[in-house]
Amino acid sequence: DAGITQSPRYKITETGRQVTLMCHQTWSHSYMFWYRQDLGHGLRLIYYSAAADITDKGEVPDGYVVSRSKTENFPLTLESATRSQTSVYFCASSDYTGSGNTIYFGEGSWLTVV
Amino acid sequence: GQNIDQPTEMTATEGAIVQINCTYQTSGFNGLFWYQQHAGEAPTFLSYNVLDGLEEKGRFSSFLSRSKGYSYLLLKELQMKDSASYLCAVRSPGNTPLVFGKGTRLSVIA
């Protein structure tokens, strides 16, 4: 049971570079999410997707791009990384079959922008 | 808009009981979740409430009052491994993503 996996787990990049964080889930969940977690802010939603080719902005989408060509993958791209994007990024997925359906998180990707 | 409030930090003694509160103001309500997150790890699901009352799951219980916009997570017989952050999250009606509070960091001391 692989579940939901993220790569890379740890990344250091320079300001202005493009970075892509990968997310893959094996449950065939329809919904996928990207959150970032920062001290003092908690988990904040960046983007989410209800199905392949359907994406929506969350609370903090600026500077990020997502795509979902296949149900199982939901990559997050930082087009031109900034220091303020240093954070822990969590991908999550859910099979929204009812109001009680929880979301399941990947292990996280620690990104440092220098 | 949505606003979810939790205490930032709490400390409790091993073997004791601790209650972590969460208050919320949201445009519509369709369930409240509690997650546990150990340092350096991903959040993991603990409990879910959509109706008023208490849900018990072993040493952990969660309570909800929709009229008061209030929930608490009760941890009994605290163990050192319960030292973690506890996140309250609310779902609005429809297939909307969870909105999380900032989390409560619980330290269990001997």
Interchain contact B46–A (C-beta under 8 A): no
The rounded distance, in Å, linking the Cα atoms of B60 and B76 is 6
Residue B49: closest C-alpha in chain A: A100
Q: Does the pLDDT value for residue A90 go beyond 80? A: yes
Q: Judge whether B106 and B19 are in contact, CB under 8 Å.
A: no
CA quadruple B73, B79, B83, B89: dihedral, nearest 10: -20
Bridge partners (DSSP) listed for residue B86:
B36, B104
Residue whose tokens read 């952050």 = B85
H helix intervals, B1-110? none
Query: How buried is residue A11: exposed, middle or buried, by Cβ count under 10 Å (0-12/13-18/19+)?
Result: middle
The whole-number average pLDDT for the span B40-54 is 95
Q: Searching chain B, which residue's CA lies closest to the CA of residue A98?
A: B95
d(CA A16, CA B53): 51
Q: Per-residue pLDDT tens for A32-78?
A: 999 999 988 899 999 999 999 999 999 999 999 999 999 999 999 99
CA distances from A72 to A27, B43, B49 (A): 8, 20, 29
Q: How many residues does chain B have?
A: 110
Q: Tell me: the pLDDT tens digits for A12-27? A: 999 999 999 999 999 9
**Which residues in A have their CB inside 8 Å of a CB on B?**
31, 33, 35, 40-45, 48, 50, 58, 90, 96, 99-100, 102-108
Kindly report the average pLDDT of chain B as a whole number: 95
B102 with A42: Cβ contact below 8 A = yes
* C-beta of residue B22 within 8 angstroms of C-beta of residue B5: yes
What percent of chain B is predicted at pLDDT more than 70?
99
Q: State whether A106 and B103 contact (CB < 8 Å).
A: no
Q: Residue with structure tokens 């579940």? A: A3
pLDDT interval class at B92 (50, 70, 90): confident
Compute the nearest-CA separation of B109 from chain A (Å): 23
**Around A43, how many Cα atoms within 13 Å sit in the side-chain half-sphere?**
28
Residues ≥6 apart with Cβ < 8 Å to A39: none
Option in A45, A100, A108 nearest B48 (CB): A100
Our CA angle for B104, B7, B16, nearest 5°, is: 70
Q: Long-range contact list for A57-61, CB < 8 A, 24+ apart?
A: A58/A33, A58/A34, A58/B97, A60/A36
Q: How confident is the model at residue A108 (pLDDT cuts 50, 70, 90)?
A: very high
Which of B29, B91, B105 to mutate to probe the A interface, most A CBs <10 Å?
B91
Residue B73, beta-bridge partner list = B20, B62
Which residue bears the tokens 């506890």? Answer: B86
